Amino acid sequence: MADPVVSDPGSATVAEPVRMPVRVLVFAGSLRTASLNKKLARLAVEVVRGAGAEATFIDLKDYPLPVYDGDLESASGLPPNARKLKDLFIAHDAFFIACPEYNAGITGALKNAIDWVSRQDGDEAGTVPYDGKVVGLCSAAGGVMFGIRAMEMLRGILMNLGCLVVPKRLGVPRASQAFDAADRLTDPGQIAALEATVQQVVRVAAALRASP
Ligand SMILES: Cc1cc2nc3c(=O)[nH]c(=O)nc-3n(C[C@H](O)[C@H](O)[C@H](O)COP(=O)(O)O)c2cc1C
């Protein structure tokens, strides 16, 4: 990623460097329109902005991808939506991912997107979109396990790709009962956990950018 420090070349005095805000890409691992994880992700966007960082919300449904197939990749390269997702990943310092739990793991849609984005494109190594990115996780899960199995699986996948997944996280069990009519979490403990997780992502990403 480019040097985030910008200075005013027209200034006669030596100006204090202006630190650009941390940029966080926020998305959910679910495609469905009424996704509870998209609700969590949208709440996270507010918290990111409240923490002084920039948030970009994307919906994976807007980036439909074929199931990864090496023959397809050999024949026609990276699908355009995979390249778009790669560019979005590269342009952000951090990711905040709301990760549904399907059969004790992550969704096929999320894994497929991660897999396509991890593919080498020309001279660009596959790890470029991931390496050094700070990641926060949350999960709105249908069951009582609060999505811990999906978040652990996702943490392992992303750490393997070079991401730094922060230890704080939010798991929402029985998530169909967790939101009010305005799509806000009703449990103060869950709200606090979402805030703490986002704030840790922003702080760690800012510290990493400030380090030489
Ligand atoms: C195929 C499938 C498998 C699921 N497996 C689990 C599971 O292992 N644990 C769990 O807590 N919920 C499970 N659920 C429930 C989902 O976590 C729940 O529907 C959740 O709301 C999905 O996320 P979304 O609302 O963002 O689409 C499963 C749902 C589906 C469709």
Q: What is the pLDDT of residues 133-154, one digit of tens each?
A: 999 999 999 999 999 999 999 9
> Is residue 12 assigned to a domain?
no
Burial bucket for residue 55 (CB in 10 Å: 0-12, 13-18, 19+)? buried
Predicted confidence (pLDDT) per residue in 43-55, tens digit: 999 999 999 999 9
pTM value? 0.92
Percent of the chain surpassing pLDDT 70: 91
Question: From ligand 1's centre to the CA of 82, what distance in Å?
Answer: 25
Query: Mean pLDDT lowest for which of 1-5, 63-67, 160-164, 165-169?
Result: 1-5
pLDDT at 175: 98
Strand order in the sheet with 23-28: 54-57, 23-28, 94-98, 134-140, 164-172
Residue 175, domain extent: 20-210
> Is residue 8 assigned to a domain?
no
Select the more confidently predicted residue: 24 or 15: 24
pLDDT at 211: 85
pLDDT at 12: 45
Q: Which residues line ligand 1 (CB under 6 A)?
A: 28, 30, 32, 35-37, 100-104, 140-143, 145, 175
Does the pLDDT of residue 62 top 90, yes or no? yes
Reported confidence tier of residue 19, pLDDT bands at 50, 70, 90: confident
Question: From ligand 1's centre to the CA of 96, what distance in Å?
Answer: 19
- Residue 34: CB atoms within 10 A of its CB come to 7
pLDDT at 15: 59
pLDDT at 1: 41
Report the nearest-CA residue for atom 16 of ligand 1. 142
The tally of domains found in the chain comes to 1
> Is residue 25 assigned to a domain?
yes
Pairing of strands 134-140, 94-98: parallel
> Is residue 3 assigned to a domain?
no
The CATH number of the domain where 174 resides is what? 3.40.50.360
